[in-house]
Amino acid sequence: MKYLKYDGYNIPENLVILTGGGTDDWEEISNYHVEMYRKYAPINHDDFVLEVGSGVGRDAIQLTKILSPKGRYVGFDIIKPSIDWCKQNITKKHKNFTFHYYDIKSQIHNSEGTLSTLDIKLPAKDSSVDRIFLHSVFTHMFEKDIAHYLKEFRRVLKPGSLVIASFFVIDEKALKTLSESPNKAMRHPLAFKHKLSRNCYINDKDYPEGAVGYTPQKIKKMLLSAGLGIHGQHVHRGAWSGIKDASNGQDIIVLEKTSSVEAMAQYLQPLKFTGR
């Protein structure tokens, strides 16, 4: 078996590939994520960080350098060998870093899975978590599953705490840009030509979970139902949509618990985008 040597770890290359990206861009993606945290939701040393879709620990390894021994990290994923590797290697060195495997069925990562996302209670007590991170997770999921995780986020978040999640937010402008020139910079050119329902687009009819996007209206509806709002009120547009000079690949939305009045006020406004 081949390994990526990184920061004192020997990480199996096959698990690196399953986590997204390859050995060549491991460090670049790690740094991109850390910079995203610094910019949108800075982490305090003693925070409790929860990562949904923790893969083979790319972010966890970075977070071991940010969180103090009083801080805590919990990651979970649906790829068993990755979670086993994280337990045997990261938890072994950092006892405040723990990992859970859930056998959730997924067309991409776990086609034989026996659970649905709807079966999952996040591994955290009510109002206990400071930061939740998820990269390229909602971009492969359908509405009822996203809605379930969002409700769980509201349950586990402390007041004033934040979530960074990536999405494909599909509006007229993005669809027009992509129809003129599908985004070939991404590994699979994205055009989102197929509608799964009125407010949900997929990129490939034969492989629906490959990339899933939602209209601004649907995103706002899911957030309203979960009692979450957009921190800073803006979606940070990603390069996938054809926008120039974007600092993110996918669209980044920072979420927070919000009052029902604020949630309704955001729902009634058009979704706003920033370029960077």
Q: Is 58 in the site for ligand SAM (CB under 6 A)?
A: yes
Q: Is 72 in the site for ligand SAM (CB under 6 A)?
A: no
And the tokens for 201?
A: 């687009």
Which residues between 120 and 159 bind ligand SAM (CB under 6 A)?
Answer: 135-137
Q: Which residue of 4, 43, 54, 252 would you call a contact of ligand SAM, by CB under 6 A?
A: 54
Beta bridge partners of 162: 131, 256
Angle between helix axes 143-156 and 216-226 (nearest 10 degrees) is: 40
Q: Is 109 in the site for ligand SAM (CB under 6 A)?
A: yes
Helix (H) / strand (E) containing 152: helix 143-156
> How many Cβ atoms are within 10 Å of 193's Cβ, its own excluded?
14
Q: Which residue of 36, 48, 55, 72 would you call a contact of ligand SAM, by CB under 6 A?
A: 55
Q: Is 59 in the site for ligand SAM (CB under 6 A)?
A: yes
Cβ nearer to ligand SAM, comparing 169 with 175: 169
- Contact window for ligand SAM (CB under 6 A) among 73-81, 186-194, 225-233, 246-254: 73-81
The amino acid at residue 59 is D
Q: How far apart are CA 15 and CA 142, in angstroms?
A: 25
Q: Which of 161, 145, 143 is nearest to 105 (CA)?
A: 145
Q: How far apart are CA 72 and CA 90, in angstroms?
A: 13
SS3 for 50-62 is EEECCCCCHHHHH
Cβ nearer to ligand SAM, comparing 79 with 170: 79
Cβ nearer to ligand SAM, comparing 143 with 171: 143
- Contact window for ligand SAM (CB under 6 A) among 72-80, 85-93, 191-199, 219-227: 72-80
Residues near ligand SAM (CB under 6 A) are 19-20, 52-55, 58-59, 77-79, 104, 106, 109, 117, 135-137
